[in-house]
Amino acid sequence: MRGNITKRGKNSWQLKFDVPNRDGKRQQRYATAKGTYREAQKALTRLLGEADKGTLPDPTRVTVAEYVRSWLASAHNVAPKTLERYGEIAERQIIAHLGAEPLQKLKPEAITDWHGELLDGGLSARSVGHAHRLLRLILARALKNGTVARNVAAIHSPPKVEEHEVAILPAEQIPAVLAALDGHTLFPIVFLALTTGMRRGELLALQWGDVNLDGATLGVERSVEETRAGLRVKPPKTKRGRRSISLPAEAVVMLRNHKVAQMETRFALGMGKPDETTLVFSKIEGGIISPHSVSRSWRAVCLRRRLPRVPFHALRHTHVSILISKGVDILTISRRLGHSKASVTLDVYGHLIGGADEAAALAIEGVLK
């Protein structure tokens, strides 16, 4: 074998191997592998195979653009919609600015200059952060494979994001909004979004088999995702995403009425009674509704009926704001939303929790008396 494996840490191995260069001579290369010794052997075999096929990048010649596009082409464990978004960020924010740079000559200073260029070009700090994290992820593989000696995107942090309050519907406006939507096809999905805090894609993937009207609960088991290739039903991203949500009485009544109306439509079309896999919200013939079309319809009805012009996702935020105002604890809210950790919920909605410090002071005061 044209290489050897040296243990570096508990689950870390240094791979040293030879590859032929353009002059026919052999050049030493290094890479890092994680896991067991057997996994390190497999990694070394893969690298040698790529070297023999001529597909292993020459670290002295490869540019940022070449490496980024190579990473995107081999990111098979990334969800299609996420990969699509990565491609857009890579082309517009990374390759357009850093693409011509030789990968090995990328310096930490170039990263901070890149941040400045993006901000000066009108990109928000949050979007710059997304681009930065993608570059850091890509360079992590380059570091692991020995293509670069360090991950320069891990040295500097992206610009700080100034937190802004999320858009919500004020609680006092909700009855008027629902009244204005009465009889509209959006009414059921808007009602359920407000009463459960479910995401748009989760609502569109909901099946009647997931709904227990007698028990006043529903289960979130999947979500609809829209990509350039079309609609895709996928499982939740995290274990917490698959969850059970308790329904208020009003939501149960609404769903019973909606099911009756859906059944009447299906019978009129000769489609028969809904079964466990029938979508709760669907096209008239039973097909999946595009998430983008729901957002477009919501914007249009808000404009026509002079409703507050907030995005559809604001209905989820509104649900959370109501729970917080009623004193529901953040862990319960986090589980209801399907967040991976309560800290994620706090990051997004912490500014809505008012009076907590005053309540803490009163609690201590009560103990001391």
Tokens of 233: 């039903």
Q: Are strands 217-220 and 243-246 parallel, antiparallel or unpaired?
A: antiparallel
Percent of the chain with pLDDT over 70: 91
Domain boundaries, the chain: 3-154, 171-352
Q: 3-154 in CATH: which number? A: 1.10.150.130
Query: Is residue 101 classed as helix, strand or coil in its secondary structure?
Result: coil
Residue 133 clears pLDDT 70, i.e. is over it: yes
Distance from C-alpha of 55 to C-alpha of 338, rounded to nearest angstrom: 42
Confidence of residue 142 (pLDDT cuts 50, 70, 90): confident
pLDDT on residue 199: 93
pLDDT on residue 24: 63
- At residue 166, φ and ψ (nearest 5 deg) are -75, 150
Terminal Cα distance for the chain, rounded: 77
Element (H, E) at 15: strand 12-20
pTM of the model: 0.67
pLDDT on residue 211: 98
E-state strands within 112-261: 211-212, 217-220, 223-227, 230-234, 243-246
Element (H, E) at 58: none
Asked which of 26-30, 171-175, 189-193, 305-309 is least confident by mean pLDDT, the reply is 26-30
Report which residue type is found at 11. Answer: N
pLDDT on residue 362: 56
Q: 171-352 in CATH: which number? A: 1.10.443.10
Confidence of residue 367 (pLDDT cuts 50, 70, 90): low
- At residue 313, φ and ψ (nearest 5 deg) are -65, -20
Q: Mean pLDDT score of the chain, rounded to an integer?
A: 87
Q: Are strands 12-20 and 26-34 parallel, antiparallel or unpaired?
A: antiparallel
Distance from C-alpha of 299 to C-alpha of 290, rounded to nearest angstrom: 15
Distance from C-alpha of 75 to C-alpha of 68, rounded to nearest angstrom: 11
Asked which of 73-77, 283-287, 294-298, 353-357 is least confident by mean pLDDT, the reply is 353-357
Residues in the chain: 369
How many CA atoms, within 13 angstroms, populate the side-chain half-sphere of residue 325? 10
Distance from C-alpha of 111 to C-alpha of 63, rounded to nearest angstrom: 15
Q: Stretch 175-181: mean pLDDT, rounded?
A: 95
Closest C-alpha among 2, 103, 6 to residue 58: 103
Topology alike, domains 3-154 and 171-352: no
pLDDT on residue 164: 61
> What confidence tens digit (pLDDT) does each residue in 13-34 have?
888 887 776 666 677 777 777 7
Query: Is residue 197 classed as helix, strand or coil in its secondary structure?
Result: coil
Residue 280 in contact with residue 207, Cβ under 8 Å?
Answer: yes
Distance from C-alpha of 59 to C-alpha of 102, rounded to nearest angstrom: 9
Closest C-alpha among 111, 44, 46 to residue 74: 46
> What confidence tens digit (pLDDT) does each residue in 270-320 have?
998 899 999 999 999 899 999 989 999 999 999 999 999 889 999 999 999
Angstrom distances, CA of residue 178 to CA of 82, 170, 186, 238, 369: 33, 13, 10, 32, 48
pLDDT on residue 141: 87
